[in-house]
């Protein structure tokens, strides 16, 4: 059977296209760590240590510097950016995960907030494996049988937020912290804060319940 010139050209084009597709797949191999979430690199190979995230440090990094860093990161879609307020974005690999930066009056970063609401979960045991255990455990907003609870690293300027069952009655606060509790969000702030103003529900809290390992608190 004879092959005309058009068929030859089509064969060449298909060969080139298939080669390109193979190259693209090979450049992004699927691995157990390739979850396409912001925490994958943060836990395994962080650019810097808390309270710094991706070389953005509360109390030091300016709005312009933070904006330039975020613009250089892959997978960031900005929702808004304002040099008086801060920045907000989503991670385009997973539209449910978001980030937010608030500013001090002097234009430096005040707080970094990273939220996780995807189907793939971030567990407390993974954070402890990378950064150690928290110093304080503080249930701070209990209602309808559940408690928002802060796991605070004051020396590292980091706080984890979890949402767990309230084991006490409606007037009490008692929670059980287990290794597989899911992290709802991570916040980074200036470590020198003793009263974490605006960290929780825009109120002041002094944390006193110290971490004693997995179990019930207080």
Which residue bears the tokens 């300016």?
Answer: 62
Instruction: Check if the beta carbon of residue 136 is closer than 8 Å to that of residue 150.
Output: yes
User: For 75-80, which contacts have Cβ atoms below 8 Å and span 24 or more sequence positions?
Assistant: 75/36
**pLDDT in the model for residue 74:** 85
Rounded distance, CA 10 to CA 17, Å? 11
Q: Which of 17-21, 23-27, 132-136 has the lowest mean pLDDT?
A: 23-27
Rounded distance, CA 125 to CA 146, Å? 21
Nearest to 100 by CA among 92, 108, 43, 110: 110
- Report yes or no on whether pTM surpasses 0.85: no
**pLDDT in the model for residue 96:** 79
């Amino acid at each position: 059977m004879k092959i005309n010139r058009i068929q030859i050209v089509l064969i060449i084009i298909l060969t080139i296209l298939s080669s390109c597709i193979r190259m693209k797949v090979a450049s992004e191999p699927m691995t157990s760590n390739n979850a396409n979430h912001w925490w994958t690199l943060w836990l395994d190979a962080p650019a810097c240590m808390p309270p710094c995230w991706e070389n953005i440090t509360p109390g030091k990094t300016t709005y312009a510097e933070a904006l330039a860093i975020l613009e250089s990161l892959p997978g960031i879609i900005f929702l808004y950016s304002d040099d008086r307020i801060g920045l907000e974005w989503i991670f385009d690999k997973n539209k449910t995960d978001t980030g937010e930066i608030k500013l001090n009056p002097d234009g430096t970063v005040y707080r970094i907030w990273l939220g996780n609401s995807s189907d793939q979960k971030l567990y407390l045991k993974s954070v402890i494996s990378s950064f150690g255990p928290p110093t304080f455990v503080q249930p701070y907003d209990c209602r309808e049988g559940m408690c928002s609870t802060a796991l605070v690293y004051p020396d590292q300027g980091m706080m984890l937020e979890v949402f767990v069952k309230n084991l006490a009655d409606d007037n009490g606060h008692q929670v059980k912290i287990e290794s597989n509790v899911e992290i709802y969000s991570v916040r980074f702030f200036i470590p020198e804060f003793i009263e974490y103003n605006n960290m929780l529900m825009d109120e002041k809290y002094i944390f006193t319940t110290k971490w004693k390992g997995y179990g019930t608190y207080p």
